[in-house]
Structure formats: C-alpha cells, structure tokens
Amino acid sequence: MNKIKPSPEQVTMYLERWDSLDNYVLQESSLRKLFTKTYPHNVDMDDVLIKVCSLNDFYSTNIFSPFTVAKHIVNLDIDQRLSSFDLTLVNDIAVVKVNGLKTINFYSFATKYCSHHFPEAYPIYDSFVEKMIMYFKQLDKFFKFRKDDLKHYPTYHEVLMQFSRFYGLENFTLKQIDKYLWQAGKDYFPKQY
C-alpha cells in the first residue's frame, strides 16, 4: 500500500473512519467514564485495579500481573503529577518489579493509563504509531531523534509535537493525531501472523 504523507485531509479521513467503528468508540467512551468519572483518582487499590484490568483487556497489553501493576501505581501516588501533566510520570509507571525479581517495562500500557485520565496531554505509544513515526522520519527528516528515544516519554511527546508542526496538523489534538497514526499504521504496516 502506498503511504500517503500526513495532511489535514488524511487525519480527517481517519478520524471519520474511527467514528464509524462502534467497537472502538464504545470502548473509548466506557474507559473515559471509568477513568474520569467513576474512578478518577489513583489512591484506592480497588479503583486502580479495575482500571488496570480494563485497559489490559481492551488493549491486550499483556499485563500478566495486574495486581502488581496496580499496587505499583498506588504506591507512586500519581494524582498530583498526573494532573499537572508531568510527562516523566509515564516512565515511572512503566517500570514495574514483578514477583520481587524481574523488572518489566510496561511502557505502552503506562501511556494508555495516563492518556485515559488526560487524553489531550498524554498521547498513546503503540507499535503502529512507532512505525509511522519512524517511516516519516526517514522519509522527510521532520525531527532528529532515534527509535530508542520514543521510549522516553517526554521525548516521545516532543516528537509528536514536531510531527504535528512539520505536517501542518496543529489544528488537531494529540488524541486525534494518535487515532490517525494508529489506524494508518495498521493499514501501512499490518502485523504478519
């Protein structure tokens, strides 16, 4: 499939497609309700655990120990940092010691966790988004960074801001850019099974 350069028209087309996909729209609205209305805080283990489990189920994030991840989030006492849009919080949430032995980086999950509290401030990292970003970096050199830099959340955020500026997408929110990149990434770089 020919990869069409990012443009307002491309983003709009993918946003319209997104809005026609009932499963994604309903999944997102139920998570929005869960994260922003039902359980907006992250101090009670029950509240955090249900959010971790819901994200894990809807997004297939492979959190094999949701209790451990939820406990980690509660122990970090994240609410102040989350609401002040502290981008370094994502990497702090991501790194979890499982079974007291092995440290695992649940980076994609952590971006989703923060994004569902404040979707306009915390864009989601996903392998499809990464492939799109790297493809257009190589093609147009819109910003200088390495692939590994995308796993440092403040840098990832800046890369998306530069991507948006370079392609004239400033009228779209980071959440809208995310929806575009994810869908286009699925189209352009389908997973091989």
**Alpha helix (H) residue ranges in the chain:** 8-19, 22-33, 45-59, 66-76, 79-83, 88-94, 107-117, 127-140, 153-166, 174-188
Q: What is the pLDDT of residues 25-42, one digit of tens each?
A: 899 999 999 999 999 999
Q: What is the pLDDT of residues 175-187, one digit of tens each?
A: 999 999 999 999 9
Confidence (pLDDT) at 121: 96
Q: What is the pLDDT of residues 99-149, one digit of tens each?
A: 878 999 999 999 999 999 999 999 999 999 999 999 999 999 999 999 999
Confidence (pLDDT) at 101: 83
Confidence (pLDDT) at 38: 97
- Helices 45-59 and 107-117: crossing angle, nearest 10°? 110
Q: What is the pLDDT of residues 146-163, one digit of tens each?
A: 999 999 999 999 999 999
Confidence (pLDDT) at 100: 77
DSSP secondary structure code for residue 125 in this structure: P
Q: Which tokens sit at 35?
A: 């994260």
- Mean pLDDT on 79-87: 98
Query: Over 80: is that where the pLDDT of 193 sits?
Result: no
Give the three-state DSSP class for 101: coil
